[in-house]
Structure 1
Amino acid sequence: MTEPLYRLADATLVEPLVQDFQAWWMTVAPMPASLHLQAYLVPLLKAYLQTPDFHAKAAKDPMLSGSSFVGVPQERADEVRALLQRITVQQGERLKLAEAFDEFQNQLLAEAKGQSLEPLYSRLPDVLKGKVELVYDYVNRPSMRVHEGLLYRGPHHQTDIQSLRLRRLKADAERDSLLTTPRLRGPGQVDWKVPFHDERLDRLFSLDIEPRPLGWIRDVLGDAVASDAELLPLLSEAPQALPETWTGATPRVRYVGHACVLVEWKGKSVLIDAVVPVRPEEQGPLPRISFAQLPRRIDYVLITHSHPDHLDIETLLRLRQRIGTLVVPRSSGALAGDYSPRLLARSLGFRDVLEPYFYESLPLPDGEIIAAPFMGEHGDVAHAKTAWIVRTGPERLFFAADSMCVDEVTYRDLRATVGDLHTVFMNTEIEGAPHTWMLEGFFPKKRDRKLEKNRRCRGSNSAEGLRILELVGARRLFNYAMGLEPWMEHIIGPAATPETPRMKESERLLAAARERGLQAERLQGAQEVHLRA
């Protein structure tokens, strides 16, 4: 009798966690994680414990989407209290680092007025010594440049508090906010204590495309699974048809959802801003592409920037064994928050990671991938970001993400250097969060709230978007990254409605583009993208 083979069930969700909070760059990269923990997560959990019922109700209110509320029922408040105690003990070194950084940064701002910074090194707290350089910019504003690579080798990069949580997902709405709500363990869930860089993750996630015997799977998970009865609900014996490699002479473009797009060309595949959903038991009417529908090998994954709806650690870890090269935006390292996505990716177990400069290119058969300037959207804060151009023969696709038209010359130069950008993918998020949103740890405790209302992490409005299309010589517009897919709600909140400002602006942009003879569509749900002549 042939031994049955199992793959991961379509509804099996695998969440990477850092001490029960879902992993994203602000919980993994050492200095950002330390500052975020001290300035945001610990105060958030303390606030919840004062009024747990209020938090739990507010977290479910769509009108309060994006606010800082913990979506844990009041009857589980003791578990949150225990979690807070574990955090303060197990991440004590991170908290000390953050407190010292914050205190010394304020001293720098108060005392350093252009004189030599050399005498201040003797006053550095011990926890900061060897980890920072004191610097000025050219107008004598002081700051600390972090030796980030060193932090990944020390006690502030805590792989011992990393884990994976496996469970069946009944519906997308089950997922609580990635940013504010810890994942407390529930029935039917498997908690696998394993660091993200561990090669065993590749063996587990190979089950998306290659079924294995039950004993093989038990060996991978080890002590995490107590019995077959605990493991079997996460698996499936149902056969699965895998996609064929696309070898056509024209590019095949598939929209996965939100900002995630798959481009296949002459046997090569490129995935932009990889955020890929599982298929819950109740998945609704929108079609979706999940992990088994992606190519066996993804030659390049391109990341535009680190917002969690574009850089998703959950997806990257699940696809790691299928990805040839991960391509990330280049950071300057000049600010504590301008962390290195490359170092983050290496800590996640990726070996081949590139961070090209603007206008550098990577080869494709009769084509290339070009790094392009990504203007605006980050509230004027210098963090790593790159737009991408994928050229397939004579066709050029421009993945502009949340770009703004703040400098027309940038796009004129782009067209003059690279050629017409025939197809543009861009959004119309015209409101955006304040520039300090979820980045509290990088800013002084007392801030000018008027500036926060003025400086938003927004994309282009319809007039700015139309101008970008004109400047780059576009023939097609695909309005994407609009927050319309239900599987994105745990990251960015409830799906946009026709009455939201970004959707109204989207309608204006689409109408204006069509009046000028462009193919103009708004993308929602997984679909084939047709590039009409």
Structure 2
Amino acid sequence: MSETLYRLADPTCVAPLVQSWAAWWMTVAPIPASLHVHKSQLPLLKGYLQNPDFHARAAKDPALSGGTFVGVASERAGEVKALLQQMQEAQADRVRLAEALEEFQGWLVDEAKGQSLEPLYEKLPEPLRGMVELSYDYINRPFVRVMEGALYRGNHHKPQLQSLRLLPLASDASRPHLFTTPYLMEPGQIDWAIPFAEERISRLFETDLSPRPLGYLRDVLGPAVTRDEQLLPLLTDAPPAKYTPWEGPGPRVRYLGHACALVEWKGITLLVDPVISARPSEGGMPRLTFHELPPRIDYALITHSHPDHLAIDTLLRLRHRIGHLVVPRSNGFLVGDYSPKLLARSMGFQNVLELESYESVPLPDGELIAVPFLGEHGDVGHAKSSYVVRTGKQQLLFAADSMCVDDAVYRDMRQNLGPIQTVFMNTETEGAPHTWTLEALFPKKRDRKMEKNRRCRGSNANEGLRILELVGASRLYNYAMGLEPWLEHIIGPPSPPDAPRMKESDRLLTEARARGLTAERLMGPTDLLPGA
């Protein structure tokens, strides 16, 4: 009699955590994580403990979605207090680093007016020594350049605080909000204390496609599992789906949701902005989950670091399948302009390509090309890139949240690459404030009135139409609209039809069709055959 083989059940969600908080770049990259714990997480927990009932109620109010409220029931305030104390102890050196950086940057701006910076190294506080370089821009504004690679080798990078939480996902709305609510232990969950770079993580996730005996899974998880009864409810003995490679004459694009799309072309697979969800036990919008994806993903492409585009949970689960992770290049001049390449390598990725604009990677009868991602989109000069995928004579632009604020960028794109027939682009007229995810990176004193028109927005309808015209597009797919419910724990609930961004999307589609383009707004899994 053959031994029963298991894989993770479809409703089993695996959430990477850093000391009980969801992992994203602001909790993993050393300098941003230091600032974030000091100026965001610790104050948030302290505020919750002053009025747990208010936070718990506000976190459930749809009208307050996106607010800084801890969604933990008041009867569990004692657990939040214990977490606060543990964080203050385990991350005290990060807090000292953040305090030193904030104070020194303010002092440096007042002190450095164009004279040599060399004598000022003597004023560096101890937490910054050996970690930063002082420099000017070309109009003599001083700044601190972080030596990020050194920080990943030092005490401020804390893999010992990393873990994976295995949990049964009842509904998409049941996940704690990524930015504001820590994961407290619940019945039926397993907390696996393991650094993200560990190879054993891949051994667990390999079972998505190659189920293994229960004993194998117990060995992989080690002390995190003491009884089979803990593990079995999170497993299934149902065989994984069989993937059938695409062999069509042209490319196939499998839209998976939000900004995530799988391009299949001549045996090569490219996965753009991978955000994949478990399938909740209580149902919900149909989706493709991990065991239904190809066994090999040749290139995974990241446009930018917002966690609805760079999802650490998805990347870790697919790490063993990804041949090359492609990320935008960081300039490193701002403390928040962390390196996605260094982040990826800290998570165990060996083959990371950091592409400059118009740098390319050859494909069979095709090419992958990094192209400009224009607009602040809430970030100030941080790493970001759009991508063009050429498949034979067809070209596809994955523009993510890029804007058209300079016609010449897209005019040059067409001149450099030729007509781009298919464009995937977002439509966002308002967007969250530019500090939505980055408040901890900013000095406390600044003119917020001047910042009101800086939003995490994409192109409006007029800008979108201009992009389509400039690149010579004949097909538009309006995507990354936040309509899939598995994005709710990151960006809040889907927009209703009468929301400004949806009205702008409707206008874009109507105008594009009037100009003779094929135009469609995407929501949920859809197979597309560009050029067919």
Provide structure 1 residue ranges, at least 5 long, that are not aligned to the other structure.
none
Q: How is 1:321-336 mapped onto 2 (pairs within 5 angstroms)?
A: 321-336=320-335
Distance between the aligned counterparts of 2:432 and 2:338, measured in 1? 20
Give TM-score, length-normalised by structure 1: 0.99
Distance between the aligned counterparts of 2:316 and 2:450, measured in 1? 37
- 2:26 is aligned with what amino acid? M
1:379-399 per-position Cα deviation (integer Å, ceiling 9, x unaligned):
461000000001111110000
Give TM-score, length-normalised by structure 2: 0.99
Equivalent residue for 2:17?
Answer: 17
Equivalent residue for 1:194?
Answer: 194
3-state SS in 2 of match to 1:271 = strand
3-state SS in 2 of match to 1:127 = helix
Question: Do structure 1's residue 319 and structure 2's residue 305 form an aligned pair?
Answer: no
Alpha carbons 1:519, 1:532 under 8 Å: kept: no
Distance between the aligned counterparts of 2:74 and 2:180, measured in 1? 15
Distance between the aligned counterparts of 1:352 and 1:397, measured in 2? 24
Alpha carbons 2:372, 2:409 under 8 Å: kept: yes
1:249-303 per-position Cα deviation (integer Å, ceiling 9, x unaligned):
211110110000000011110000000011110222x321111111000000000
3-state SS in 2 of match to 1:512 = helix
Distance between the aligned counterparts of 1:66 and 1:516, measured in 2? 37
Distance between the aligned counterparts of 1:8 and 1:474, measured in 2? 42
Distance between the aligned counterparts of 2:531 and 2:384, measured in 1? 30
Distance between the aligned counterparts of 1:200 and 1:248, measured in 2? 37
Aligned-pair distance for 1:447? 2.2
Aligned-pair distance for 1:403? 0.6
Distance between the aligned counterparts of 2:378 and 2:48, measured in 1? 29
Aligned-pair distance for 1:450? 1.1
What value does the CA root-mean-square deviation take over the aligned residues? Answer: 0.9
Greater Cα offset, 151-160 or 433-442: 433-442
Distance between the aligned counterparts of 2:528 and 2:492, measured in 1? 26
Alpha carbons 1:377, 1:459 under 8 Å: kept: no
Q: How is 1:84-163 mapped onto 2 (pairs within 5 angstroms)?
A: 84-163=84-163
Alpha carbons 2:135, 2:145 under 8 Å: kept: yes
Alpha carbons 2:240, 2:292 under 8 Å: kept: no
Runs of 4 or more, structure 1, over 4 Å off, are: none
Alpha carbons 1:255, 1:527 under 8 Å: kept: yes
3-state SS in 2 of match to 1:305 = coil
Distance between the aligned counterparts of 1:269 and 1:495, measured in 2? 29
Aligned-pair distance for 1:378? 2.6
Alpha carbons 1:430, 1:505 under 8 Å: kept: yes
Distance between the aligned counterparts of 1:468 and 1:283, measured in 2? 38
Aligned-pair distance for 1:440? 1.8
Alpha carbons 2:167, 2:189 under 8 Å: kept: yes
Q: How is 1:505-524 mapped onto 2 (pairs within 5 angstroms)?
A: 505-524=504-523
Distance between the aligned counterparts of 1:98 and 1:470, measured in 2? 46
Equivalent residue for 2:5?
Answer: 5
Question: Do structure 1's residue 359 and structure 2's residue 373 form an aligned pair?
Answer: no
Q: How is 1:176-215 mapped onto 2 (pairs within 5 angstroms)?
A: 176-215=176-215
1:180-226 per-position Cα deviation (integer Å, ceiling 9, x unaligned):
10000111100101000000000000111111011111110111001
3-state SS in 2 of match to 1:5 = coil
Aligned-pair distance for 1:244? 1.7
3-state SS in 1 of match to 2:294 = coil
- 2:467 is aligned with what amino acid? I
- 1:418 is aligned with what amino acid? L
Aligned-pair distance for 1:364? 1.0
Q: How is 1:217-232 mapped onto 2 (pairs within 5 angstroms)?
A: 217-232=217-232
- 1:390 is aligned with what amino acid? V
Aligned-pair distance for 1:125? 0.6
Over 3 Å counting, the alpha-carbon distance change for 1:401 and 1:424 in structure 2 is same
Question: Do structure 1's residue 497 and structure 2's residue 462 form an aligned pair?
Answer: no
3-state SS in 2 of match to 1:471 = helix
Alpha carbons 2:208, 2:240 under 8 Å: kept: no
Over 3 Å counting, the alpha-carbon distance change for 1:350 and 1:457 in structure 2 is same
- 1:333 is aligned with what amino acid? G
Provide structure 2 residue ranges, at least 5 long, that are not aligned to the other structure.
none
Equivalent residue for 2:451?
Answer: 452
3-state SS in 2 of match to 1:139 = coil
Distance between the aligned counterparts of 1:231 and 1:2, measured in 2? 20
3-state SS in 2 of match to 1:355 = strand
Equivalent residue for 2:76?
Answer: 76
Equivalent residue for 2:46?
Answer: 46
1:164-184 per-position Cα deviation (integer Å, ceiling 9, x unaligned):
000111111101211110000
Count matched residues: 532
Equivalent residue for 1:476?
Answer: 475
Distance between the aligned counterparts of 1:394 and 1:102, measured in 2? 51
